[in-house]
Structure 1
Amino acid sequence: MSKNTPKIAVVTDFDGTLMEQDVGDVLMEELGIVHAPQVMEASQLFREKKVGSLAWIEAAYPLLASRQLEVDQLLKSVHLRDGALEFLDFCEQKEVPVTVLSDGMQYYIEQILRSQQVQVTKVIGNPITYSAAGQFQFGVQNTNPACQWCGCCKASVVKQMKADGWLIMYIGDGSSDYYGSAFADWIFARASLANYLREEGTAYYPFETFHDILAILRANWPMYQDGTAAGRLSGRYPSACQFPVS
């Protein structure tokens, strides 16, 4: 790669994107956590857009504290989205780094990637995990002092990658990805993210499997390399996102 060639990086959501299922939802539903009073209240406030994911995460995830064995068992029932391995192989061949960026629990992301023998460049999620001794550890990834809406501030991560000179292909499906994709160059979207972008009038590539994404990339790779591929965005700034004044 020449010094004048833009650097391309992929940022992909995990739940409902790289994975066929929303793993966090599977855990919460199968373990009955969605029915806990504080979780029901947080869910209602989230649906009403009175709180962001941070409030829901703080209500729900601590209830996994003593349930590691049950969590591990449920993780055996989920699987990667069709074409994900082929897509990651394509990225490796093209020397494109892949960051998994999630508002979910870092423990299950790392467990699944390890069990599926999936290699990515980086995993960024909420530092919620079990120690080697089985002790539950809770944390969030939001280091943005100006905004405490999301557990993981995806917009901050992508914003920094752009500042570091990367062209970003963002892949996602949910509400946190609406913010995460705000600074991306190209967006591949499905489910609620696609609905948000369509209502907003923002260009995106629809997909259901990673084979759909691969078909687009293989047919147009030279244009992605030089930054001229169709659908490139100049920057969106969701009103909910706030950043420190520099």
Structure 2
Amino acid sequence: MTIHLLCDFDGTVTQDDNIIALMKRFAPNEWITLKDQVLSREISIEDGVGAMFRLLKSSERETFTRFLIDNASLREGFPEFVRYAEEAGLSLTFVSGGIDFFVHPILAPFAGPERIYCNGSDFSEETIRITWPHACDSQCDNGCGCCKPSIARRLSRPGDLVIAIGDSVTDFELAKQADLVFARDHLIRMCEQEGIRYVPFETFYDIIDGLKFRLEVTK
């Protein structure tokens, strides 16, 4: 049996959501309506995120990237969590609704590209076009963008344990099918509305402690 840790990035690995930080700093106010429509599930994540990045000029790529790398703050205990997963023999994969041009450089000290699933970006047009290399499979039609449940189905085998770690709407579909959910912020409210059991966390030390306890119980 393989234990798969599928960990979100924005607002989970990092203290703040990088897309929101980018939009607040550089985008015109139209992004706010799009964000609210995504959170209320009025429009799909794919439609909303794609439209938000169409508000940003491709020529500013270097500025955007530097801003996010310089301002990203890792959640407390994250390096220790990565080390714990490796030492415990757990399969740690990062599944992100974020975009490659900032997700990969921020995670580079902790994970190679083969362990990172996120959305892509195309800067060849006047405004940024988001690409979807990990779109929904035939079992999902939610327009997830980076479809976390599809990735879970691809990585896991019958008898494996899937553990979701996240904070928002991009993690909700995965939370529905996971064997164990670690949640914070908006994901907590969504889990409570749908009756999904979860373990709350604020730091990665909380997750390490929760994993140690629950995995010991399952032995």
TM-score range, shorter chain: 0.7 to 0.9
Q: Which runs of 4+ in 1 moved over 6 A?
A: none
Mapped partners of 1:206, 1:107: distance in 2: 30
Structure 1 pair 48–19 and aligned structure 2 pair: CA distance change class (3 A): closer
Structure 1 pair 107–166 and aligned structure 2 pair: CA distance change class (3 A): farther
Match of 1:166 among 147, 152, 160: 160
Superposition TM-score, scaled by structure 2 size: 0.86
Mapped partners of 1:209, 1:26: distance in 2: 20
Q: Does the aligned pair in 1 maintain the 2:53–2:129 contact within 8 Å?
A: no
Once the two structures are TM-superposed, the CA of residue 110 in structure 1 deviates from its matched residue by 0.3
Unpaired stretches in structure 2, ≥5 consecutive residues: none
Q: What's the counterpart of residue 97 of structure 1?
A: 91
Q: What's the counterpart of residue 41 of structure 2?
A: 49
Aligned AA for 2:216? P
Structure 1 pair 152–199 and aligned structure 2 pair: CA distance change class (3 A): same
CA RMSD of aligned residues (A): 2.4
Q: What's the counterpart of residue 217 of structure 1?
A: 211
Q: Does the aligned pair in 2 maintain the 1:46–1:56 contact within 8 Å?
A: yes
Structure 1 pair 205–82 and aligned structure 2 pair: CA distance change class (3 A): same
Match of 1:59 among 51, 70, 84: 51
Mapped partners of 2:180, 2:149: distance in 1: 14
Structure 1 pair 173–48 and aligned structure 2 pair: CA distance change class (3 A): closer
Q: What's the counterpart of residue 19 of structure 1?
A: 14
Once the two structures are TM-superposed, the CA of residue 48 in structure 1 deviates from its matched residue by 4.8
Match of 1:9 among 4, 13, 25: 4
Mapped partners of 2:44, 2:191: distance in 1: 19
For residues 19-46 of structure 1, give each alpha carbon's deviation from its aligned partner in whole angstroms, at most 9, with x where no partner exists: 1111111111111x151x4x35534543
Mapped partners of 1:164, 1:67: distance in 2: 45
Once the two structures are TM-superposed, the CA of residue 64 in structure 1 deviates from its matched residue by 4.5
Aligned AA for 1:13? D
Once the two structures are TM-superposed, the CA of residue 85 in structure 1 deviates from its matched residue by 0.6
Q: What's the counterpart of residue 100 of structure 2?
A: 106
Larger radius of gyration: 1
Q: Does the aligned pair in 2 maintain the 1:162–1:183 contact within 8 Å?
A: no
**Greater Cα shift, 156-165 or 200-209:** 156-165
Unpaired stretches in structure 1, ≥5 consecutive residues: 1-5, 227-246
Report SS of the residue matched to 1:14.
coil
Is residue 2:193 matched to residue 1:199?
yes
Structure 1 pair 169–112 and aligned structure 2 pair: CA distance change class (3 A): same
Report SS of the residue matched to 2:41.
coil
Structure 1 pair 203–61 and aligned structure 2 pair: CA distance change class (3 A): same
Once the two structures are TM-superposed, the CA of residue 49 in structure 1 deviates from its matched residue by 2.9
Report SS of the residue matched to 2:59.
coil
Q: Does the aligned pair in 2 maintain the 1:173–1:191 contact within 8 Å?
A: yes
Report SS of the residue matched to 1:91.
helix
Aligned AA for 1:8? I
Q: Percent identity?
A: 25
Report SS of the residue matched to 2:75.
coil
**Greater Cα shift, 98-107 or 142-151:** 142-151
Structure 1 pair 128–164 and aligned structure 2 pair: CA distance change class (3 A): farther
Is residue 2:111 matched to residue 1:119?
yes
The count of aligned residue pairs is: 212
Mapped partners of 2:186, 2:102: distance in 1: 23
